[in-house]
Amino acid sequence: MSTIGSFEGFQPVSLKQEEEDQSSENDHLSTKEGDSEKYSGPRKISRQQSLTKATLYPNPYHQPYVSRKYFVTRPGAMETAVEDLKGHIAQTSGETVQGFWLLTEIDHWNNEKEKILLLTDKTLLICKYDFIMLSCVQTQQVPLSAICRICLGKFVFPGMSLDKRPGEGLRICWGSTEGWSVLSRWNPWSTEVPYATFTEHPMKHTSEKFLEICKLSGFTSKLVPAIQNAHKNAGTGSRKELTVLTQPILIETYTGLMSFIGNRNKLGYSLARGSVGF
């Protein structure tokens, strides 16, 4: 083999010699190992299986520490509320509850409010329930025969609105907005609003039970035939026709500072807000 350059410090090296040396060393090792056991076939490297398992949650509300913040998801809270409201309806009107749902009401100022809706043969009850104290705070009774229009669609806002929300909702109308006074329109606590707007509750995906009672489509499928039956049973002088529309739902708010603060902090829900103190 030829030398590399003319430097005295470099010595010619044979690559073949190194390969032969390595092969001889390998043969030497294999003969030593062969004393204890015979070599047969290629060796397989066994890897220890992992003892840990990773689970992906399909929805963030499946995490217990998130859902437990809402008092409505705590054991027995929803059942107690429904029994209280059923007893109140039986004592006051004697009607029988046909179904109940847990939805979020969006008022005319875009504020979210946790509500329980109960449906009887004649009345739709919209109830504000305190799941912390387990007591009914407010009840609004809407005669089914007075409901004239139902709108289904996405939420839309004026072009200059600063607080907008995505998603779809349901609006139930039992009066005309033409006679709605300006004072009531700009009063965030007004109870003279001739309609109510709802969307699905944030805890819809917590469990199968909440999936049923928080589903907006399920509530609509029960509400429409109940209203139609109430219109048929009403007197000829007060008989109306129900109109079901699929169109955008306008929420007429512009600045929205009040709803921005309230909705971001979930002030309309019975929510555990942590300990306050030292």
Maximum distance among all Cα pairs of the chain, rounded to whole angstroms: 121
- Which residues on neighbouring strands pair with residue 173, listed in sequence order? 149, 195
Report the pLDDT value the prediction gives residue 39, as an integer from 0 to 100: 44
**Fold classification of 60-264 (topology level):** PH-domain like (2.30.29)
Domain regions of the chain by residue span: 60-264
Report the pLDDT value the prediction gives residue 61, as an integer from 0 to 100: 46
pLDDT tens across the length of the chain (278 residues): 444 444 444 454 444 444 444 444 444 444 444 444 444 455 544 455 556 555 444 554 455 667 788 999 999 999 999 999 999 999 998 999 999 999 999 998 999 999 999 999 999 999 999 999 999 999 999 999 999 999 999 999 988 877 788 999 999 999 877 767 777 777 777 878 999 999 999 999 888 999 999 999 999 999 999 999 999 988 766 667 899 999 999 998 877 788 888 888 899 999 988 765 44
In the three-class reduction of DSSP (H, G, I as helix; E, B as strand; rest coil), residue 104 is classed as: strand
Report the pLDDT value the prediction gives residue 148, as an integer from 0 to 100: 94
- Amino acid making up residue 127: C
Q: Give the contacts of 249 (CB within 8 A, at least 6 positions apart).
A: 151, 153, 154, 155, 156, 169, 170, 171, 197
- The 3-class SS string of 121-189 reads CCEEEEEEEECCCCEEEEEEEEEHHHCCEEEEEEEECCCCCCCCCCCEEEEEECCCCCCCCHHHHCCCC
